[in-house]
Chain A
Amino acid sequence: MMKIQKTSLFFILGAIVFYLIVQYLMSSGLLTTFFTTIILIGGVMAIVSLGLNLIYGFNGQFSLGQWGFYAIGAYTAADITFRWYQMHTAQALVVALLAVVFAGIAFFIVGKVVKAIKDFDVLSIFALYLVVTVFFVYLAVMLGQPLTQPVTAFFMQMPPQVSMQVIYILAVLIAGVLAAEISFIFGLPVLTLGSDYFGIATLGFTIIVKVLLDNSDTLLGFAEMKGARGMVGIPKITTWFWVFLFLLIVVGVVRNLLHSSYGRAIISVREDEIAAKAMGIDVGQYKNLAFVLGSFFAGLAGGLYAHINGFLHPDTFNFIKSFDPMIIIVFGGLGSVTGTVVASFGWALVLEGFLRLILPQGFETWRFVVYPLLLLVMMLLKPNGLFGGVEMPFLKQTVPPLPESLLEEPKKEVSQ
């Protein structure tokens, strides 16, 4: 029989108890709908921020693109469930699923070709992946049309509750995978840029996604997304159970990844790229791995978020908000999973909950004046975050402390 470590046991038991307490509070009505929503958003933010922490906190790639992948995930999942819920067709599900699978096949084929020829530069690899993937996705869309009818009939046989849940979970997963696949193609060339330039390019990505969503009905041709007017009528089926389950899975995946040799390689890239390369670590590949996985989490979280309020608006995904996950992981402490989760819930509770309640009547607009002041005070008092270097026993590992390069300004750049 497999031996379960004591810390793991404690963690799982603690998680279950926490889940049950919150679930009890929610179902007994002690928590109002307002606070329920806030807790759900806190959980979703925790997933997004864990993804970003993987990219920035553990792999050292300064990414502002997390919010763009979150947006992609949200709109993808919303479109799939919307078409089922409102239009009673599984068309979006079929097409998206096929597109995701075909893109995966395209990646596999191009990956083989690139590996076999070896002489490509980054831009060429990017171009190859892009062209082949676009072609395969086009094929998938073509193939999806005739398949829609039988799949819809298949789902129609199920009881409506069950089919809704199945499609919802599939939608969330597809959203994650789609975000991951886009991040893979986008990350290929952009990850070679290096720290600040990578951050700027990913910020550009977020803005491009936002602009596309603003014009989703006219330019992209998704009439139901209604562009800048906001998408309404998405089923509100994200429950605390699903958010918590996904959060738990993500925490587990991040923990196990970081404990594995892959995780050590990812961290070594953050510590010192040249040294990591000298140790035989394929730096580019691990950067890409962290980026893709982080974006996958962002897509998942987006899928969950879309079904909390049943309403999506492109302004939720504008670039100002894209700093939120960055603020959360710096608050919680870079490279701390515990800190990220705690800070996400804390951020949601303080910003959306307490600040609204504490501020007196007529001072609601002061919320965003108090928030940056809190931010400034926090940064001045604890520049390394609340949980910098602190970790729960279950998540703790032999990770070296944060490197000098993240704590101070890099010396090599100054001495050029």
Chain B
Amino acid sequence: MIVSFNKGGKRMEDSEAVGKTNFLEQFIKKGWVGKSLLILLALWVIWQLSQAFMTKPSVFLQQVVNGLQLGFVYALIALGYTMVYGIVRLINFAHGDVFMVGAFVSYYLVSRYQLHLWLSKVAPQTPQVLALIVGTISVILVAMAICALLAFTIERIAYRPLRTAPRISALITAIGVSFFLEYFGALQFVFSPNFTTFKRPFEVVSWAINEKGTQLFKTGTEVPPNSILVSNIFIIIVLTSILLLVLLNYIVMQTRIGKAMRAVAYDKPTARLMGINVDSIISITFGIGAALAGAGGMLYAIAFPQVVFWMGIIPGLKAFVAAVLGGIGSIPGAFVGALIMGQAEVLSASYISTPMRDAISFSILILVLLIRPTGIFGERSTEKA
């Protein structure tokens, strides 16, 4: 960009043709000055992590498992960001708060009203486990549906009138919706401004995995040496996320709606000419994204059993960063980005610096953007620098 032209406006190709021998010149020309700094940084991080792995492999692997758990929740939120951005080019800042609403809906259903036990109330002879599974799944579905409805409403009221307005107005509106959801939720009669404990719908069961095999782990007892704890929460989160991801991929890639979504993302006016109802497709996109966020909210609340009105801000932001990291607009990108963010957060918290973990996540974002300006899976942008 700035430096590729010399004073005369002539490209520097002639000097390239003349002197190819000078090592320093080649070093500079290939951009190795900047790259070497990054490589040094990467080596330092790898050294840190490998040392951590060498000294205590089980602790390290435990952290990786924790990071996966976090990453899968982030993935569910990130998908909503990436889909909405892919279609309307809007950074939907209210998405994190939809996630918060999902967590609160599940809190009300599970902890407050015990509605996850409906099957054993209706038909008391059903086995306990089956009733619990059906109940939890139905609670997740209700949370998803309510979040989808909320997103439909938000889209209808706040974003649709601004479809032709400047993009920044829509962004400010998104921020406004986000503030509204947060502070309305903070009111005493809505969600209350305090931390509320979330009572899980099921008991936590953990297994300790070590070289001797897998055994049930009783809470309160000492963790067996050199073992990794895996809880049923982790398994539920991973399974649910993968299931939803596969479902989403099926919807986007195989169904008519998915085809229409891709068409709208590609070219809105032409999609409209082809008889696609662009507005309803955008609404559906918002709805699907919000449903995923709702499921994520419930899973997050199960994993970290506490709900509070601002709980959506940081996970929402992290998920957004994950979406950008993976290449915003790309669904596998969001997934991979979220896993990276989860690992980055947990590993930097445990091995580099706990208070700096948010800063490190964002530094990773900036570094990735510098190396690949459109994210890991992003298409080449048409932006000119």
* Contact, CB under 8 Å: A128 / B3: no
CA distance A214 to B356 in the complex (A): 9
For chain A, residues 72 to 117, give those with C-beta under 8 angstroms from any C-beta of chain B: 114, 117
CB-defined interface of A184-226 with B at 8 Å, one 1/0 digit per residue?
0000011111111101110011011001101100110000000
Number of B residues contacting the other chain (C-beta, 8 Å)? 73
* Contact, CB under 8 Å: B359 / A122: no
CA distance A406 to B347 in the complex (A): 40
* Contact, CB under 8 Å: B355 / A414: no
Task: Tell me whether B186 is interfacial, beta carbon within 8 Å.
Answer: yes
Do A285 and B321 form a contact, CB below 8 Å, given A124-B32, A376-B173?
A: no
* Contact, CB under 8 Å: B370 / A406: no
* Contact, CB under 8 Å: B34 / A121: yes
Do A119 and B3 form a contact, CB below 8 Å, given A197-B374, A413-B89, A414-B268?
A: yes
| Cβ contacts under 8 Å, A416 to chain B | 379, 381-382
Number of A-B contacts (CB under 8 A): 218
CA distance A212 to B162 in the complex (A): 37
Tell which of A128, A282, A285 touches B33, judged by Cβ atoms closer than 8 Å: A128
* Contact, CB under 8 Å: B172 / A123: no
For chain B, residues 307 to 343, give those with C-beta under 8 angstroms from any C-beta of chain A: 313, 317, 320-321, 324, 328
Closest B residue, CB atoms, query A186: B366
Task: Tell me whether A346 is interfacial, beta carbon within 8 Å.
Answer: no
CB-defined interface of B156-190 with A at 8 Å, one 1/0 digit per residue?
00100110111111001101111110111011100
| Chain A at the B interface: SS class | helix
* Contact, CB under 8 Å: B359 / A212: yes
Question: What's the minimum C-beta distance from A400 to chain B, rounded to whole angstroms?
Answer: 16
* Contact, CB under 8 Å: B359 / A211: yes
CA distance A66 to B314 in the complex (A): 20
| Cβ contacts under 8 Å, B18 to chain A | none
Chain B CB within 10 A, most for which of A114, A379, A408: A379
CA distance A40 to B4 in the complex (A): 46
Question: What's the minimum C-beta distance from A57 to chain B, rounded to whole angstroms?
Answer: 10
Question: What's the minimum C-beta distance from B361 to chain A, rounded to whole angstroms?
Answer: 8
Task: Tell me whether A25 is interfacial, beta carbon within 8 Å.
Answer: no
* Contact, CB under 8 Å: B38 / A375: no
* Contact, CB under 8 Å: B369 / A200: yes
| Cβ contacts under 8 Å, B36 to chain A | 127
Task: Tell me whether B20 is interfacial, beta carbon within 8 Å.
Answer: no
Task: Tell me whether B305 is interfacial, beta carbon within 8 Å.
Answer: no
* Contact, CB under 8 Å: A123 / B164: no
| Cβ contacts under 8 Å, B173 to chain A | 375-376, 379-380
| Known contacts A123-B31, A123-B37, A365-B183, then 13 further A-B pairs from the complex at CB < 8 Å, ordered by chain A residue | A124-B31, A125-B34, A191-B385, A197-B373, A201-B369, A204-B366, A207-B358, A273-B384, A320-B179, A323-B175, A368-B182, A375-B172, A384-B165
Closest 7 CB pairs of A and B: A123-B34, A194-B383, A383-B165, A204-B362, A124-B33, A368-B183, A375-B176
